[in-house]
Chain A
Amino acid sequence: MAQNTKYIALIVLVIVVVAAAAFMFFQKPGAGKEEAPEKLTVKIGVLTDETGPTSDVGISYAKGVLAALKYFNEKGITTKDGVKVELSWVKRDYAYNPTKAEEFYKEFRDKYGVIAVLGWGTADTEKLSDTIINDKIVYISASYSAKLTAKPYNFFVPPDYSTQACIAISWIASVKPGAKIALLYDHKVAYSRSPIDAIKAAAQQLGLEVVADVDLPLKATEADAERAVLQIVDKNPDYVWCGNTITSCSLAAKAMAKQGLNAIMISNVWGFDERSKDMIGPEGYGKAMGVSPFIYPAIARQQNIPGINLVLEAARAAGYSDTDVNLRFLQGFLSAWLLVQAIERVDSQALMDKGGEALKEVLEASCQGQAFDFQGLVAPARFCPGRHIASEQAYLVLLNENGEFELKGPQSAPEGIDCAQITIQAGG
């Protein structure tokens, strides 16, 4: 009995110690906003992919987001009524795993009390799009999926993927009527699949023919790319749409050159950037293009686009060189800048009382009011309730035969074809 008493005493002691330690260690989350009216703290969650299959574009994007947050924080942010706002952020790398993204989102919400998230991929953003409505958390993503445009708390700076793709299709129809198009994208990835229904519908309406629809893994190897290209060679397409990220699309462009396929590859916004020149190589010069709603930073500097100076200043302040400021960095910067502009338009009392809901309201107020302006780096953005399509313009960037980037546009979305709506209706 004495031994049992000793055990019981020991267990009770352990339980008490564990309970006390748990009580001290696990703190209840702080509120998303502070009460002091002279200064507010806005808590933000930042979801990145720096180690997963889209890290080839995700690392620079994350740098851009963080550089912007740091820069605007130091420069000073004030609400519409002059109350100073300090941004406080938590960053998590979810490695492009939507399951992991949801776990981190719950950490943002329940542990840190964020009112806004700067997110990343399509599958995870779509997955969380209904949850954030209940939580009233504004979500500005790097995914430009058309399905998100109908969600009340999802926002992004450029036009959606489907509208961007239709801009490319419309351009093809204008330069080569009746052209044949082959599609290369990862059939198992929501991001890659996102604009496909819209592309097919727009191509049909504009008199183009989709001759192949081939699976190319997002994390492709050279062999994957060659296998995919082999499947389209005998279809003899004039244009090839690549819906993956830069590594995969560059490998496909190389494989096209190797197989002697005389077609032009057009990649979506994440499949083509400044690195494409080196990644594709001279054999692909004149045969590769990308859709981009954003002006490439190097071109923006050449053309003295005002906004680029701000981005460069922020990059330098964060310890980056001017060469670190690439398209991805710019995209990340602009997402954070949109959030900052929304905070600057909100009333401090509304921000305190309603948090993310107040930010959503000012973002949607741009529908009839002043657009969000990015000083020429991307088209001004307006968000209408139920239709968060920021704009309907994008450039086409050609890697010309001299290995230089040539800007075509800005091009507009084809009239009479609502590509975002096609995607939403198709559920893709």
Chain B
Amino acid sequence: MPAGVFKETYGEEIAIFRYPIHYAGAALGLLFALMLPILVGPYYMLLAVSFLIFLVGTVGLNITVGLAGLISLAHAALMGMGAYVTAFLAEKGVNILVAIPVAGLSAAALAFILALPSFRLKGYYLAMASLAAQFIIEYIFALIDPDQYVPIPDEAKYLGGIYLGRGLPLYYTTLAITIVSILTAVNLGRSILGRAMKAVRDNDVAAEVVGINVYYVKAIAFTIGGFYAGLAGGLYALYSSGIGWEGFTLEGSIEYLGMVLIGGPGRIVWGSFLGVLLVRTGWTLLESTLADLIVSYVAAALKYLILGGMIAGFIIFEPEGLIAVLRRFKEYLRLWPYSY
């Protein structure tokens, strides 16, 4: 009987579930996610829905930024693209479950266009190009949505007589789409394409030398990231009574980037999970507490101070993000009480 778990094939080595603990963790996590509505009230269930939506979006940005090393400051605009496409299709009578994947594809197409500057630019210059794209798209949103509000017809949110826009159906629909999205993203990281993205991120010249089509990889990284952003936008349209361009501004893009950088760039699932949990959901909970304790403009200013401070802090002291801190803690526990 072997003492430990030994991998005998490459397939076993790169499997998603490599150790028994992975199965146990996934099962318990799934159980917890399924039981959450029983454990918490409707408000916290909605908070969980919001968490899942932004998790999908952040996973997308983590593919673009973390996996392929391409800085994007237009992710909120891509999410907006998905939301507006969903709203448009819903208005035309298309069921929202059909509209959501179309929203993802539309945002992916837009992201592909945004990827074009990445063929010639990188680093700060690429960031500036994406920043320009964010402003242009934001401006177009404001032009097509001058009332700051496009309603999502409730009729589009039904499936077999069940209204998906609220309560348990909303939660479970979002959860199902999130799980599928995450599993796909996990597989992407283990694929040839995923490894090519990492190679381009680490050294694009070396990647090209070994035969990787750098342009193709960059375009695909942006496009997949855009697809996830569009999917998140579509889910947001399901969650919300209507969408407005203020929800997809530069501030949103910076928040997305903050979630990736703080959570753990390159760690597509857990890094994104921790980033959204801390920056988005954590702040929402903190904001309510602060609003009751101190004057609101101090609370509003605190958000930017805290978010900015955390981004700077993680970039300087822990570029691998919160996930690296947790990994070290896990290692410590694994060896505890001995340090060797």
Which residues of A does B touch, CB under 8 Å? Answer: 1, 3-4, 7-8, 10-12, 15, 18-19, 22-23, 26-29, 48, 50-51, 55, 90-93, 95-100, 102-103, 106-107, 109-111, 123, 126-128, 130-131, 187-190, 193, 428
Binary interface profile of B, 142-159, with partner A (CB < 8 Å = 1, else 0)? 110011110100000000
* Additional pairs, 12, CB under 8 Å, beyond known A26-B39, A99-B246: A1-B3, A4-B19, A19-B39, A28-B41, A48-B296, A93-B297, A93-B299, A99-B247, A103-B50, A127-B241, A127-B242, A190-B148
User: Is the Cβ of B42 less than 8 Å from the Cβ of A8?
Assistant: no
User: Is the Cβ of B241 less than 8 Å from the Cβ of A102?
Assistant: yes
User: Is the Cβ of B291 less than 8 Å from the Cβ of A8?
Assistant: no
Asked if B162 is at the interface of the complex by the 8 Å CB criterion, the answer is no
How far does the alpha carbon of A97 sit from the alpha carbon of B32 in the complex, in Å? 33
How far does the alpha carbon of A22 sit from the alpha carbon of B44 in the complex, in Å? 10
How far does the alpha carbon of A29 sit from the alpha carbon of B41 in the complex, in Å? 6
26 pairs from A and B in contact (CB 8 Å cutoff): A3-B4, A4-B20, A4-B21, A8-B20, A8-B21, A12-B24, A19-B32, A23-B40, A28-B41, A29-B42, A50-B295, A51-B300, A93-B300, A96-B246, A98-B244, A99-B246, A103-B50, A103-B284, A111-B43, A123-B147, A126-B147, A126-B149, A127-B148, A127-B149, A128-B241, A187-B146
The distance from the CB of A186 to the nearest CB of chain B, in whole angstroms, is 9
Q: Which residue of B lies closest to A16 (CB)?
A: B28
User: Is the Cβ of B244 less than 8 Å from the Cβ of A26?
Assistant: no
Asked if B190 is at the interface of the complex by the 8 Å CB criterion, the answer is no
The distance from the CB of B88 to the nearest CB of chain A, in whole angstroms, is 16
User: Is the Cβ of A188 less than 8 Å from the Cβ of B146?
Assistant: yes
Asked if B240 is at the interface of the complex by the 8 Å CB criterion, the answer is yes
List the B side residues contacting A23 at CB < 8 Å: 39-40
Interface residues of B in 4-44 (CB under 8 A from A): 4-5, 19-21, 24-25, 28-29, 32, 35-36, 39-44
Asked if B333 is at the interface of the complex by the 8 Å CB criterion, the answer is yes
Binary interface profile of B, 242-258, with partner A (CB < 8 Å = 1, else 0)? 11101100000000000
Binary interface profile of B, 34-67, with partner A (CB < 8 Å = 1, else 0)? 0110011111101000100000000000000000
User: Is the Cβ of A51 less than 8 Å from the Cβ of B296?
Assistant: yes
Chain A residues touching B, majority SS: helix
Q: Which residue of A lies closest to B287 (CB)?
A: A92
Q: Name the 3 nearest CB pairs between A and B, nearest first.
A: A93-B296, A99-B247, A123-B148
User: Is the Cβ of A107 less than 8 Å from the Cβ of B43?
Assistant: yes
List the A side residues contacting B122 at CB < 8 Å: none
List the B side residues contacting A28 at CB < 8 Å: 40-42
The number of A-B residue pairs with CB atoms under 8 Å apart is 127
Asked if B288 is at the interface of the complex by the 8 Å CB criterion, the answer is yes
User: Is the Cβ of B333 less than 8 Å from the Cβ of A10?
Assistant: yes
List the B side residues contacting A27 at CB < 8 Å: 41
- A10, A55, A93, A97: the one contacting B247 at CB < 8 Å is A97
- B41, B149, B247, B288: the one contacting A190 at CB < 8 Å is B149
The distance from the CB of A122 to the nearest CB of chain B, in whole angstroms, is 8
The distance from the CB of B68 to the nearest CB of chain A, in whole angstroms, is 29
User: Is the Cβ of B41 less than 8 Å from the Cβ of A98?
Assistant: no
User: Is the Cβ of B240 less than 8 Å from the Cβ of A102?
Assistant: yes
List the A side residues contacting B25 at CB < 8 Å: 11
Asked if B195 is at the interface of the complex by the 8 Å CB criterion, the answer is no
The distance from the CB of A190 to the nearest CB of chain B, in whole angstroms, is 5
List the A side residues contacting B42 at CB < 8 Å: 28-29, 110
User: Is the Cβ of A91 less than 8 Å from the Cβ of B291?
Assistant: yes
How far does the alpha carbon of A308 sit from the alpha carbon of B98 in the complex, in Å? 57
Which of A3, A11, A22, A99 counts the most B-chain CB atoms under 10 A from its CB?
A99
The answer to whether residues A26 and B40 also contact, given A11-B28, A106-B46, A130-B241 and a CB cut-off of 8 A, is: yes
The distance from the CB of A15 to the nearest CB of chain B, in whole angstroms, is 5
Q: Which residue of B lies closest to A128 (CB)?
A: B241
List the B side residues contacting A126 at CB < 8 Å: 147, 149
List the B side residues contacting A19 at CB < 8 Å: 32, 35, 39
Q: Which residue of A lies closest to B49 (CB)?
A: A106
The distance from the CB of B50 to the nearest CB of chain A, in whole angstroms, is 7
List the A side residues contacting B240 at CB < 8 Å: 99, 102
List the B side residues contacting A99 at CB < 8 Å: 240, 243-244, 246-247
User: Is the Cβ of A190 less than 8 Å from the Cβ of B146?
Assistant: yes
User: Is the Cβ of A130 less than 8 Å from the Cβ of B291?
Assistant: no
How far does the alpha carbon of A51 sit from the alpha carbon of B20 in the complex, in Å? 51
User: Is the Cβ of A11 less than 8 Å from the Cβ of B147?
Assistant: no
How far does the alpha carbon of A110 sit from the alpha carbon of B24 in the complex, in Å? 33
List the A side residues contacting B292 at CB < 8 Å: 90
User: Is the Cβ of B46 less than 8 Å from the Cβ of A110?
Assistant: yes
The distance from the CB of B82 to the nearest CB of chain A, in whole angstroms, is 14
Q: Which residue of A lies closest to B295 (CB)?
A: A50
Binary interface profile of B, 125-165, with partner A (CB < 8 Å = 1, else 0)? 00000000000000000110011110100000000000000
